[in-house]
Amino acid sequence: MTTTLPLRPLLLALALLLVPQAALARLQVAATVTPLAALARDIGGDLVQVHALSAPTQDPHFVDPRPSLILLLNKADLLLVNGVELEAGWLPPLQRTARNPAILQGARGHFDASQHVPLRDVPTAPIDRSHGDVHPGGNPHFWSDARAAARVARALAARLAQLDPPNAATYTQRADALCKRLEAFAATQKARFAALSPDRRRVVTYHASLGYLLDALGLEQVATLEPKPGVSPSPAHVSRVVAAIRERAVRALLQEEYYPRSTTQTVARLSGARLVTLPGGPDFDRGETYEAWLTRLTNGIHDALAQ
């Protein structure tokens, strides 16, 4: 008597396991931060599968490089990075061990968003770390500016079209429509904030991370709580900021949700400025779009300044 083993189904299951999943699915996109992930999903729609490597509640400078992220990069056709060394503290070891040359720097599957945006705060004189954690290439926090997002969206659509030529027209059409909406949004918000009286258009921020947004909205940054980028507030500096808030009648103290809050809460209490905790990025896992996040962000600031 012979026993027939179920070899065929087993072999089929093994083969399916060993075939790279990316080959069976849509264009695989990994994005270091959720604003880029949301833009990619807005443009790619059902043609792409997008994974965010960090949460909007995480400081994008410091993300745990968990090995599970290596799996995402291993299967990615396209890696979206913010650039300007924002991810220098955690992304390189993931890229090095992902065994995916398609997403290494210089490859077609590596997209550096900062290359498509006019950058602010590019040092004009030699710098060192006595200036704090300054990014030599310029300020990397451009993703909350709809105008910058439109530039990134156009370039991203072109890259997706390169990687997936049969759907190039779809990417371009979606990006064009998105860019029109973003540019209209930027114009609308500029007018909305311009309607505020000048004394309501002054803010203090925690980190120098909102310069692009403040410029887009026509707001003045009076001071930052960090004396230098990445350096925790000192008592003397905080005292000066409190004095500046009182002197300039600053209405709002802005910080992303991933920065410490005890100092800003105290400063808000002492100075009378309203503390506004901003979402660090779209709630990508729950399907929030880039535009919905930006609307939430700007509404929060406007509400604080208008009151």
Positions touching other proteins (CB under 8 A) are 17-21, 54-55, 57-59, 62, 64-68, 70-71, 74, 84, 88-93, 96-99, 101, 104-105, 114-119, 122, 129, 133, 136-138, 151, 230-232, 257-261
Minimum separation from the CB atom of position 218 to other proteins (A): 22
Q: How many CB atoms lie within 10 A of CB 70?
A: 18
224 DSSP β-pair partners: 205
Tell me whether residue 200 or residue 297 sits nearer to other proteins (CB atom): 297
Tell me whether residue 67 or residue 166 sits nearer to other proteins (CB atom): 67
Tell me whether residue 204 or residue 302 sits nearer to other proteins (CB atom): 204
Tell me whether residue 218 or residue 229 sits nearer to other proteins (CB atom): 229
Which DSSP letter does residue 115 get? G
Q: What are the E-state strand segments in 240-303?
A: 252-256, 274-278
Tell me whether residue 90 or residue 185 sits nearer to other proteins (CB atom): 90
User: C-alpha angle 191/192/197, rounded to 5°?
Assistant: 95
Q: How many CB atoms lie within 10 A of CB 163?
A: 18
DSSP secondary structure of 199-235: GGSEEEESSTT-HHHHHHHT-EEEEESSSSTTPPPPH
223 touches 204 (CB < 8 A): yes
84 touches 138 (CB < 8 A): yes
Which DSSP letter does residue 221 get? E
Tell me whether residue 52 or residue 160 sits nearer to other proteins (CB atom): 52
Minimum separation from the CB atom of position 64 to other proteins (A): 5
Nearest Cα to 298, choosing from 185, 151, 152, 183?
185
User: C-alpha angle 245/282/71, rounded to 5°?
Assistant: 125
Minimum separation from the CB atom of position 52 to other proteins (A): 11
Minimum separation from the CB atom of position 184 to other proteins (A): 20
Minimum separation from the CB atom of position 198 to other proteins (A): 31
Minimum separation from the CB atom of position 11 to other proteins (A): 15
- Cα distance between residue 204 and residue 278, in whole Å: 13
